[in-house]
Amino acid sequence: MGKEKNPRRVADNEAMAKLRMLRTSPQKLNLVAGLIRGKKVETALADLTFSKRRVSQDVKKCLQSAIANAENNHNLDVDDLIVAEAYVGKNLVMKRGRPRARGRYGKIMKPFSELTIKVRQVEEQA
């Protein structure tokens, strides 16, 4: 009498990787995530490698993790993978401040965000 197996969160031809507590605003991260949505993983990795944005290295690391999950955990073919979804969420916000003129206080928000990347295996049409 064992416990029942949890159902998979993604489809049989998909794999996922999640990156939490990423020290950048969700708005800036979404610009980089939009760069790779719907592309083949080789093209997406090349785009992230040569991107000038600082957060692109973290996004590349998350994409490589999703590819490794697809290959090792779900036995998917790496050559047929595309980036099915890449979406960004908010995480905590560190609140800091700075004294300003005339007794006021300037709020400084330091946001964190999280990134989820899903890769999907697609058979090529000949």
* Domain edges within the chain: 14-121
Cα separation of 12 and 30, whole Å?
27
Domain boundaries 14-121, CATH class: alpha beta
Read off the pLDDT of each residue in 92-103 and give the average, rounded to a whole number: 97
Per-residue confidence (pLDDT) for residue 22, from 0 to 100: 97
pTM of the predicted protein model: 0.90
Per-residue confidence (pLDDT) for residue 39, from 0 to 100: 96
pLDDT digits (tens, 9 = 90+) for 9-30: 889 999 999 999 999 999 999 9
Residue 76 has pLDDT above 90, yes or no: yes
Read off the pLDDT of each residue in 82-99 and give the average, rounded to a whole number: 97
